[in-house]
Structure 1
Amino acid sequence: MGFSLFFMSRQKKLKFKAKIFWFLSLIFFFLVLFNWLGVEFLHPVNLNHPDLSFGFQPKVSCLPVLDYGLGQWNSEKYGNHRVVLRVKKKSPAVYAFVPWRRRDYQPERKKLILVDGSTGKEIKNFIRLSISREKGEILFEPQTVPGDYYLYYLPNVMTGRSNYPTVVYPPPDEKPSPKWLQKIGLESEAGLDLARLSYPASFMASARGFPAAEVAGIQSIDELNSFYPLEVIATKEEVNQLLKLHPGRKYFLFPEDRKYPIKMATDLPYRWIKRGVAEVFSGEAQPGEFYAFQLGLWAARVAVADLEVVFSKLKKKENPSVTIPASAGVCFNTEGIDWKGNHFDKICAVEKGKIQALWCGYQIPNDIPPGIYQGQITVIPYVRGKERWRGKENLTESSPSSAKASLGLPSEELGSGRQKLSPTTLTLELTISGDPLLDHGDSQPQRHSRLRWLNSTIALDDEVVKPFQPVELAGSELRCLGRSLYLDSLGFPARIRSYFNPEVTGLETKGKDILARPVQLVITDSSGKPISLSNKEKRIWPNGDGRISWVAENEAGPLTIKLDGGLEFDGFVECKLTLRAERDVSLGDIRLEVPYRSEVARYMMGLGQPGGLRPKSFSWQWEVEKNQDSAWLGDVNAGLQVSFYDDNYERPLNTNFYHLKPLIMPRSWANDGQGGIRLEERGTQEVVLCAYSGPRTMKSGEELAYYFNLLITPFKPLDLKGHWRRRYYHRYEPVGKIKEMGANVINVHHATKINPYINYPFLRTQEMKAYVDKAHELGMKVKIYYTVRELTNQAPELFALRSLGTEIFADGPGGGFSWLQEHLVDHY
């Protein structure tokens, strides 16, 4: 009996051991299989970062991702970033391996500062072993053990004015003592150059054998300066692994939440490597919200010449008949509404190896039922240019394939040299819940809903504002407040009058003529003989209360001349002259003559004239260095400014930024340096401003834009009582204190309690409103400083606007404040 029980117990033990063996063998088999497939479950990464997704990921290198946090220190002395090292064991030297994954270039040329966290003293016995963008190795002599040490890896020095500083990153300058170098085995290296980071292999091996410091994490001085998560770079090995997993992909798409704006153009973020290539992007929105999100396009293997983004309907998962229309989707990088209210298609090119952020959005209806909505977003890249077609209503059986491709329709080959890459379609899964956002989310800037303001047409109308009056049309005479304009048969201003009194405080019944005779376009042939102009058609019509428009079709020998004009309620006159050659022609000159009455043209300002009495004669030529394209001549109560431009005009930057974006020379008026402006007296009654362009040839079908604008001055009567009644105070102070000083208008600049940052956005709206309400209670007004030349780096939409290239921000040489150099890096 005892033997039988013993035998049965042994049998059970053997069976149990067999099961354990097979179980372990099975685990080993799957680990080998997953490793072969490039899948891993355990990876040295910060588990406290929930935004880094886990699961079946590409196999990546063993370079860890550190924990990112915030700290407090003297950033003027040490810079904005540091690595926290923890030493637990006393030793002549401690080795630290720092996987910092830096986005800045040439880190080996930048100084490191190591500080004892307990004493605040800098560690002098410290050397760099190896430095790269991915990682760094250092060796140092600890003073406090156990203790924390702070490695400041981007210290900088700022000089100059605080608003236009010069910031440099000093080169390495460590100077450890010879005695310590001898201790760690470098005593025999005569003439050792620590800056070269070149050590014998034997020393490197021994250095790495010293006790290792624990790398506790990376800290920044605040969230704005933090590199986490979209500026933590992937290693070269990780990028290569991704490419190997997708050998056929020419480009990659990485959807990204609006919470993390895409900031790098030359490096993949580790976040994308860890997450892998996604086919579904999930987001959360509220009814009424303009839901913004990003698509990061990486042109991995080929340059993209242009691309389109096509949106589908979003259908409710539980009830597909409930939809958000495809027309509610928009990509700001490929199309938009310009400042004149016109739709435009934007070329979006991506250099090979570069990353382009595509900022997109859907306008969610206010009354949409809650639920999960799904749809597709298709990105169609082109390796060469393409034609743009908008709307399926334009398509026919004979429509070019590029038209169909632009709508995501099948097309294998896009003729005429246009070729597309394989489109990529992502599924957007949007969970909609909560109360409707009646402001579309605009009161919460972090939602990026204000991006739709880029396509706004608010105020793009001719509504008349006080104290101006509606324009009036009587035959060929156009009238606005205190001024009138009469057009000749060719559509040019023939008579301009001002009815302002000499004090500009009111109007008189008798007008004062500004012109001595009609404005004249003079065209001469190659021999200098004038070519007469004749009119084919002229039409004038009102555009509501605020504008009167006209068009004139004229001919001058082999040229057709179209004049599109308009007078607005404030006295602005637009004249767009388009000259078209119907055959090849050589011309001696094309010029515009504006003849002022001598008694009116007493003063002059512009074209280099600082303002004052008009010279008897004047000569000027087009030069890009001047930033000049207009002149005003006139008297106190009657005058006329004339400005010249063409169809390529873009407003240049002003003051000290001008050379970053200078005036574009008008091809018509400037004519490769042959054009200019002359001012001359003709007799005693006439002063002529003559804008000439010089000799040129025009090919058949060629068009030139000879545009010019007029401003009839003055604009409105002066309110002298109101002017002297207003008393300004240009400083933020308590409202009561300012009231006691006698001021009634407060000008609040930036860098104040209620307006801490320059220009857009106003982030302390509640404090600002309370201040303004208090001023109103005391019968005072408040003006908030707001201009369009600069933008604070606190603007949540900064990187979205930057993704538009030079549409919003001008290009530039970079430099300046440390945040700019560390996060914008270049092209600003």
Structure 2
Amino acid sequence: MDKRLLPCMLALAVLSCAADLRAETDAVPLRWNAERFGNHRYTVQVDKPADAVRVILPWRRRDAHPDQVATIVVDPDGQVVRNVARMHVDASSGELAFEARKAGVYAIYYQPYITTGHPNYPTVTYRAPTHDADPKWLQSSGASDPSREAKLPMANVLGYQAVDDFDAYTDMERIATPNEQQALLAANASAPWLLFPETREHPIRMFDQIPERWAQRGAGGSLTDDALRGEYLSFQVGAWAVRAAIHDVHVTFGDLRGPDGASIPSSAMTCFNLGGIDYAGKPFDTRLDIAQGRVQPLWMGVAIPDNAKAGVYRGTVTLQADGVPAQQIPLTITVDAKEAVAHGDDDPFKLTRLRWLNSTLAQNNDLVKPFTAVTVHGPQLGILGRDIQLAPSGLPAQIDSRFDERMTGFANTPMPLLAGPIQLLVQDAQGTHALTAQTTPEVKIDGPAKVHWQVDGKAGPLQGNVQASLEADGTLIYSIALTAAKAISLDDIRLAIPLSNHVAQYELGLGRTGDHAPADFSWKWNVQNNQDGAWIGAVNGGLEFHLRDEHYRRPLNTNFYHDQPLIMPSSWDNGGHGGVTMKRVDTQYRIDAFSGPRNLAAGQTLHYDIVMRVTPFKTIHPAEHFAERYYHAYADLDQIKAQGANVVNIHHATPINPWINYPFLEPEKMRAYIDAAHQRGMEVKIYDTIRELSDRAPELPMLESLGHEVISAGSGGGFSWLQEHLDGDYIAAWHVPENRDAAVIDAGQSRWHNYYIEGLDWLARNIGIDGLYLDDVAYDRVTMKRVRKVLQARRPHPLIDLHSASQFDARDGYINSALLYMELFPYIDRLWFGEEFDYQHTSPAYWLTEISGIPYGLMGEMLQGGGNPWRGMVFGMTNRLPWTGGDPRELWKQWDAFGIEQADMIGWWVHDAPVKTGRDDVLATSYVRKGKTMIALASWAPGKTTVTLQVDWKALGLKSGQATLVAPAIAGFQPAATFKPGDAIPVEPGKGWLLVLQ
């Protein structure tokens, strides 16, 4: 039986779902307007007209207050019946009387709702009961007279139906009545908890009630199931804390004994609720307590060996808790001789993929292209384009960048970033003491992509311990512990970063959007803001830093920051005394992260965690960037190719990827589309970010059983499916009205990341996806590295692009998108920033640092309103097809006519750029080929102006007396025009030119 049909197979005492359908008439449609009537109804048969008929609906409802929710009766003609009396309504059943003017099938809808708010973030409220029945009818019909109610003719209940199979309540959501529960408790009079084994076909959906099937079946019993050889078989045991809270649940497994001495060892079994392997690859245990009255599903699994002998295997699973006697559940598993394909993973509904939660795939210190192995020469560490010299303290004494200003290669002479060593300073009454040690740090190699070191030192009256690492992408992670040997009063503990003045050109972060680095600036901690660091630097060398708590957890982002905000770092913040100052002093740009005065007790330890990243991460590749032309929509492939695009991004809510962040339910459609694209020389990437998870994921009930490990805590609400089928403790996320797809917000760091990595590997192997379109992701660099490794291993030309809406607003904690995602930049290929970015009223410095990606080794495209095509061209950016507000096709044609893929891109930020304007508000970027150069001009001047180009003819290989300067006609961009090299070129405000000099 197809498990996707299970929601339709409810254990009703009346008729089966199939019988319900047979009982329908043309006047009562099988589908209805859920926005008017809700998702659930009973149909009832009225044999003959009557002033009033009575009906008892055995609905067994899981919603908390059925008496506060309306019921709507619709007659055989589809008309709402006004005269209805709610005689008795509770969770077990509903007794109604209604006027029946004609015989036939009536529909009674019992959870109607109203939808308001934004369509993608709807507010669904359930209609309250109305009392608009005619008083005369109530009196004359007997519907309001208890003495006459029992004499009313009874309508015959035909059965339950839902607006579709997915919305239907399953047999695990039909509650046991209070009498049934009492009978069950009486049969188990002394049991502190009751256990109910269930196969994966019946996922436990309720956590504060038990289902009817448990009350009828009784507690305990065995679990019997069947599996193929090599299959991963998942199952559950529901634990109901009936009389008291249950503390510290433990699960143990016995070996499964099979035919002829065969066995499956207990080591092949696991309980996911009690721990596993976290997203960073570390084992963990979870203490599990169950509140009194609550139901806790315990999801378990057994890996059937590929070579298991066919036959019946028997064993036990034992559950116990503090003060609770151990209780065994017998297991009987019949192993078929047939071998499972891919452990059963090709069918998500088999729930074999639960084992992915504990995956360590791509969890290693191997290299990712284009990075090179970390080199170690004593305290001198080398990575791609950068060198870090360690001081005896273990902190950087110097950082050098070997990237050139063009960002396409490396300079002959490295650029030092620091004006002096980075220091952690302790200040007391005796003076200022730097953390230091007597010996050089001993660097140990973890793998080609990572090294680490440890230093024991001293900072005045404090003992210091430094644990640090460097990775091939340029990430430095420090955990510094300072311990007081005796009680002491301190004036300050601070981190001093002295950048070289010429390096500190631009800054973003700490509440500032990207701009020139401020001459004097101060900042204080505030949990309302998602701010804990900044990036400061030049195009070809900079430093990102973040100040973290030792228990740091990535905050939620994109509208949900305040649901899980930044953990204030107790040492750095110091109760509001801490902050950051930045000041330009002589040849230094001094950054001081201070924590202020405090008193330490003897033996007290403070933790100062720091994350730093040295930029750029990698060189840019303009030729590849210009060759990859994006179509960001699902459409006919021939139509896409005819418009000049060759990379297709497939969003969710499309026929081949309908469900947000769960791209596994239309594999054949997706594979066929991607195969067809590959035949045309095109690539296809899909939307998949795990920021939120579709309600269509078959694993969702199991994930709900993990508490808030995967699903973020929240106040519930949102689309009707979430309210009707989840436990209420979640954050409602994106909703697509067209296909009724609703999602919940995922926690920022969880084992769902392990599932995600395995899922990408499956998609790359089986479906052939060429990469990912990331839309405001919630995961961190640890997962991003794994994403890159998986795609790099499986696909010949993997592509990852990152989109973000501007996060610089109150709801997102005024965080710069570039800073929020900078840790991911080493592993992606391009940016698409994005909605709510201002392309018209912001400075070139903002464009450079917040939008373009160039100082970090990336290039990008524009979105909001089509961007500004003239300004975009000085950064190598256009917008994407087929988004409104701009059309890049005419620019693409000019690129091809000129041969931009064979040109060297020399941006306006390069100090010896061959073409300049002599102005800061009209900028020029050159695309240089042998014998000709294309010049992009863009204006930030407040009004119409003129510029005269300053040309380094030798650098371009041209002769001034023989050169022509032509503006080709580009529809929607510029008219045709011809200038002489020394002419004053008119430039409109906010616009520019694309000129060919040859």
Verify same fold: TM over 0.5. Answer: yes
- CA change 1:254–1:722 in 2 (3 A) is same
Match of 1:127 among 57, 82, 85: 85
Deviation string 1:383-425 (CA, Å, 9 cap, x unpaired) is xxxxxxxxxxxxxxxxxxxxxxxxxxxxxxxxxxxxx321211
- Of the three residues 271, 282, 285, the one matched with 1:331 is 271
Superposed displacement of residue 97, structure 1: 1.1
- Alignment partner, residue 945 of structure 2: none
Q: C-alpha separation between the residues in 2 aligned to 1:206 and 1:51?
A: 33
1:171 alignment partner, SS class: coil
AA paired with 2:476? Answer: V
Of residues 678, 683, 688, the one that matches 2:581 is: 678
Q: CA deviation at 1:527?
A: 6.5
Aligned to 1:394: none
Structure 2 residue 58 is matched with structure 1 residue 99: yes
The answer to whether the 8 Å contact 2:393/2:435 transfers is no
Identify which of 87, 103, 106 aligns with 2:46: 87
Taking a change above 3 Å as real, the CA distance of residues 148 and 434 of structure 1, as seen in their structure-2 partners, is: farther
The correspondence of residues 377-526 of structure 1 with structure 2, limited to 5 A, is 377-382=317-322, 420-525=323-428
CA distance in 2, matches of 1:575, 1:531: 16
Q: Does the CA contact (< 8 Å) of 1:478 and 1:548 recur in 2?
A: no
Instruction: Give 1:646 deviation, angstroms.
Output: 2.1
After superposition, the Cα gap between the structure-2 partners of 1:544 and 1:691, relative to the gap in structure 1 and judged at 3 Å, is same
CA contact (8 A) 1:525 1:531 kept: no
Equivalent AA in structure 1 for residue 165 of structure 2 = E
Larger Rg: 1
Aligned to 2:245: 303
How far 1:66 moved relative to its partner?
A: 6.7
Distance 1:542 1:593 in 2: 28
Which amino acid in 1 is paired with 2:374? Answer: V
- Do the aligned partners of 1:96 and 1:137 also contact (CA within 8 Å) in 2? yes
Verify: 1:137 aligned to 2:39, yes or no. no
Report the equivalent of 1:691. 593
Residues 48 and 102 in structure 2, CA contact (< 8 A), matched pair in contact too: no
Alignment-derived partner of residue 805 in structure 1: 707
1:182 is matched by which residue type in structure 2?
Q
Secondary structure of 1:137's counterpart equals: strand
Alpha-carbon distance in 1 for matches of 2:460, 2:573: 23
CA–CA distance in structure 2, aligned partners of residues 371 and 247 of structure 1: 38
Q: CA deviation digits over 1:234-268, x for unaligned, max 9?
A: 11111111111111100111111111211111001
**Structure-2-length-normalised TM-score:** 0.70
Question: Deviations 1:611-660 (Å, cap 9, x if unpaired)?
Answer: 11111111111111001111000000100000111221111110211111
With over 3 angstroms needed to count, the CA separation of the structure-2 counterparts of 1:233 and 1:511, relative to structure 1, is same
Q: Residues of 2 paired with 1:265 and 1:513: CA distance?
A: 59
Q: Of residues 237, 242, 260 in structure 1, which corresponds to 2:202? A: 260
Give the counterpart letter for 2:448 in structure 1. Answer: D
Distance 1:695 1:451 in 2: 50
Q: In the alignment, what sits opposite 1:341? A: 281
Q: Which amino acid aligns with 2:674?
A: V
What is the aligned counterpart of 2:622 among 720, 724, 728? 720
Task: Output the amino acid matched with 1:354.
Answer: R
**CA separation in 2, counterparts of 1:450 and 1:700?**
51
- Residue aligning to 2:119: 162
SS of the equivalent of 1:530 reads: strand
What do residues 205-253 of structure 1 show as CA deviations (whole Å, max 9, x unaligned)? 3112100111111111222211121110011111111111111100111
2:693 pairs with 1:791: yes
AA in 2 matched with 1:124: R
Partner in structure 2 of residue 60 of structure 1: none
1:596 lines up with 2:496 in the alignment: no
- Correspondence for 1:355 among 273, 295, 298: 295
1:107 deviates by 1.3
Shift of 1:758: 1.0
Aligned to 2:129: 172
- For residues 555 and 530 of structure 1, what CA distance do their matches in structure 2 show? 9
Q: CA deviation at 1:89?
A: 3.2
Distance 1:66 1:561, change over 3 A: farther
Structure 2 counterparts to residues 272-283 of structure 1, below 5 A: 272-283=214-225
List runs of 5+ in structure 1 lacking aligned partners.
1-47, 53-62, 187-198, 383-419
Q: Name 1:576's counterpart in structure 2.
A: 479
Residue aligning to 1:755 = 657
Verify the 8 A CA contact 1:184 1:207 in the aligned structure 2. Answer: no
AA matched with 1:252: L
User: For the structure 1 residues 532 and 724, does the alpha-carbon distance in structure 2 shift closer, same or farther, using more than 3 Å as the test?
Assistant: closer
The two structures have a TM-score, normalised by structure 1, of 0.84
| Contact kept in structure 2, 1:566 and 1:573, CA below 8 Å | yes
Counterparts of 1:129 and 1:562 in 2: how far apart (Å)? Answer: 73
Alpha-carbon deviation of 1:558?
Answer: 5.0
Q: Which amino acid aligns with 1:119?
A: D
- In the TM superposition, residue 180 of structure 1 has moved relative to its aligned partner by 1.8
The answer to whether the 8 A contact 2:433-2:460 is kept is no
Match for residue 147 of structure 2?
205
Give the percent of matched residue pairs that are identical in Structure 1 and Structure 2.
42
After superposition, what is the alpha-carbon deviation per residue over 1:96-117, rounded to whole angstroms, capped at 9, x for unaligned? 111211000111111111001x
Distance 2:9 2:99 in 1: 36
Quote how far apart the aligned CAs of 1:289 are: 1.3
- Give the whole-Å Cα distance in 2 for the aligned partners of 1:112 and 1:788: 37
**C-alpha distance in 2, partners of 1:739/1:434?**
48
Structure 1 CA distance for aligned equivalents of residues 468 and 14 of structure 2: 62
- Following the alignment from structure 2 to structure 1, what is the Cα–Cα distance between the partners of residues 49 and 690? 57
1:541 maps to which of 444, 466, 471: 444
Note closer, same or farther for the CA distance 1:226–1:691 as it changes in structure 2 (3 Å cut).
same
Relative distance call for 1:647 and 1:215 in structure 2 (3 A) is: same
Residues 586 and 299 (structure 1), Cα distance of their counterparts in 2 relative to 1, 3 Å cut? farther
Using the alignment, how far apart are the partners of 1:427 and 1:49 within structure 2? 29
Q: Distance in 1 between matches of 2:123 and 2:79?
A: 27
Within 2, Cα distance between the matches of 1:139 and 1:777? 64
Aligned residue identity for 1:238: E
Alignment partner of 1:152 is 2:109: yes
Give 1:51-62 correspondences, 5 Å limit: none
Q: Is the 8 A contact 1:366 1:438 kept in 2?
A: no
SS at match of 1:422: strand
| Structure 2 portions without partners, runs of 5+ | 1-6, 22-29, 731-998
Find the residue that maps to 2:171 and give its secondary structure. coil
Which residue of structure 2 aligns with residue 669 of structure 1? 572
Q: In 2, are the aligned partners of 1:231 and 1:263 still within 8 Å (CA)?
A: yes
Judging changes above 3 Å, is the alpha-carbon distance between structure 1 residues 528 and 350 closer, same or farther for their aligned structure 2 residues?
farther
Query: Which letter maps to 1:251?
Result: W
Secondary structure at 2:160's aligned position in 1? strand
Counterpart of 2:74 (choices 100, 115, 119) is 115
CA 1:800/1:700 → structure 2, altered by over 3 Å: closer, same or farther?
farther
**Counterpart contact for 1:536–1:553, Cα < 8 Å:** no
- Give the letter for the 1:148 counterpart: V
Residue pairs, 1:183-202, within 5 angstroms: 183-185=140-142
Instruction: Specify whether residues 353 and 66 from structure 1 end up closer, same or farther in structure 2 by C-alpha distance, changes over 3 A only.
Output: farther
* Equivalent residue letter for 1:121: Q
Cα-Cα RMSD = 1.9
Name the stretch that deviates more: 69-78 or 629-638. 69-78
Query: Are the aligned partners of 1:528 and 1:588 in contact in 2 as well (CA < 8 Å)?
Result: no
Structure 2 match to 1:55: none
In structure 2, do the counterparts of structure 1 residues 49 and 447 end up closer, same or farther at CA, with 3 Å as the change threshold?
closer
C-alpha distance in structure 2 between counterparts of 1:231 and 1:477, whole Å: 63
Q: 1:680, 1:687 within 8 Å by CA — same for their partners in 2? A: yes
- Name whichever of 600-609 and 575-584 sits farther off: 575-584
